[in-house]
Every structure is written in structure tokens, then in C-alpha cells.
Amino acid sequence: MKTLPTSNFRELLLWLLRRRKRFRVTGNSMQPLLQPGEEILIDRHAYQNRVPQIGDIVVATHPFRSGLTVVKRIALVMEDGSLFLKGDNFTESTDSRTFGTVNLKYILGKVTSRFE
């Protein structure tokens, strides 16, 4: 299981300079790594100069439900540039942990740390 670092001085400074954006986790799909109510920081520019990597945790806009954002892990990077996203919670009884394939344009940013 991968871990997620706590925000350090650099991350907090980048947040103050508006180079990071803060989000609150609301669902269970990324448990046990992320709990509902926890806050995270994302780098909105992470994929401007590099390709997303398998294992990256991202915040994405739901492609079918406007106004909804989700936190998921990149499970697969397709040849056409689309990404297969899924949650970490394998005990969740619903299908929501598997998000499916989305275009890179739906990715709002890469999760960099827990906001603490």
C-alpha cells in the first residue's frame, strides 16, 4: 500500500502561492489511504510537462455528472492518452470504486499531499 505524505513547508507555500489547490475527500472509494473528511492538496499543473503515471492519485471531474469531482488512482494509461481510474477500497460493495476510462482533460490535478 502506498502512502501519501503530509503537507510540508514547501507544499503549504505552494498552496499559499496558489500553485496547489485544496480538496476535501467525501467518499469511501480511496479508503484506507484517504478517509472522508480529510483534505488533500493537488498540483493542477502536474501533467503539463509530463505524462500521468500508473499509481498517481488524481482529482478528476466526473465525465457524466457535472459539478462532481472524484479522487481516484490511475490504474492504466491507454495508448490514446486516456486514463483508467479506480479507487483503492476493495471492500466497498458498490461498483463506484471502478471509475473507468476518462480523457486527460477531466483530470483537475495530481494529489501531492494531505493538507495538515
Domains of the chain by start residue, with CATH: 9-114 (2.10.109.10)
Residue 9: HSE in the Cβ half-sphere, 13 Å Cα cutoff: 0
- Give the pLDDT mean for 25-44: 94
C-beta neighbour count of 36 within 10 angstroms? 12
Q: Which residue's entry shows cell 502506498? A: 2
Give the C-alpha separation, 75 to 63, whole Å. Answer: 17
The number of angstroms, rounded, from the C-alpha of 15 to the middle of its chain's C-alpha atoms is 16
Query: Distance between CA 39 and CA 22 in Å, rounded?
Result: 7
Mean pLDDT (the chain) is 90
> Over the stretch 40-69, which tens digit does the pLDDT of each residue have?
999 999 999 999 999 999 999 988 888 889
Q: Judge contact between 111 and 2, C-beta under 8 A.
A: no
CA angle 21, 25, 30 (to 5 degrees): 115
Model-level pTM? 0.89
Examine the pLDDT at 8 and tell me if it is beyond 90. Answer: yes
